[in-house]
Amino acid sequence: MNNWESPRSFKVKASFVVEQPVVEVPVVVEVPVVVETPIVVEEAPAIVLAPAKPMSEMTTAELQAEITRLLGLITQIKAMMAEIFGTTTTGISCTITSFSRNLSLGMSGDDVKCLQKVLNSSADTAVAVTGSGSLGKETNTFGPATKAAVIKFQTKYVGDILTPAGLVAGNGFIGSSTRTKLNSLLGK
C-alpha cells in the first residue's frame, strides 16, 4: 500500500471507565470506506466514557439504559465517520433489496427481518436491547416489540412519514410513506 492509499475499512475503538482500577470495555466499529482521492487520516485518541455510577451499583434497568446509550454513541460515531468520508454507511445487510409490501403486526418474512435490522441500526428505534429481536438476533416475525419500535421510527421521522400522510402519531403500520423512508435508509 502506498503512503497515500487508505485501507478499505478502518476501526474506531472506544472504552469507558467503570471505576478504579480502570476497566476497559472495547467497542469496535468497522466501516467500509471507498476513497477516490488521497486522504490523510490521523489516529484519534480512544473515547473514554464514564457512566453516572459504577456498574456494580446499577440496577438491571440502569444497565440496559447504559447499553442503549452506548449503542447510540456507536451510531453517532458511524454518522460522523460517514460525514468525514462523504459516504453513507448503513451497515445494514438484508436479503431483500427494498421494502415492497405493507407490513403490520402478525406478519412474517425476510422483509420483517430486514425491518428489524433497520430499526436496530439506531439505538432510539431498537426492537429490543437483548434477546429475540435485538441487534444480531433479528427475527422474521412482526410482533408487539417490532410494532413499538416502528412507532418510535415513525415518530423520529415525523416529517418524512407522518406529516405527508396527514398523521400526528405513529401507528406501527408500514405503509407507503414508512416504506419510502426505510428504502432511503437502505440506499434505494
Q: Which pTM does this prediction carry?
A: 0.55
Per cent of the chain over pLDDT 90 is 37
Tell me which residue of 30, 154, 129 sits closest to 89, measured CA to CA: 30
H helices, E strands: number in the chain: 4, 3
Please state the rounded mean pLDDT for residues 112-128: 92
Residue 22 identity (one-letter amino acid): V
Euclidean distance between the first and the last CA atom of the chain, given in angstroms as a whole number = 33
Quickly state the pLDDT bin for 81 (edges 50, 70, 90).
Answer: low
| Residue ranges per structural domain of the chain | 9-85, 110-185
pLDDT at 21: 46
Q: Distance between CA atoms of 130 and 12, rounded to whole angstroms?
A: 23
Predicted confidence at residue 85, as pLDDT, reads: 55
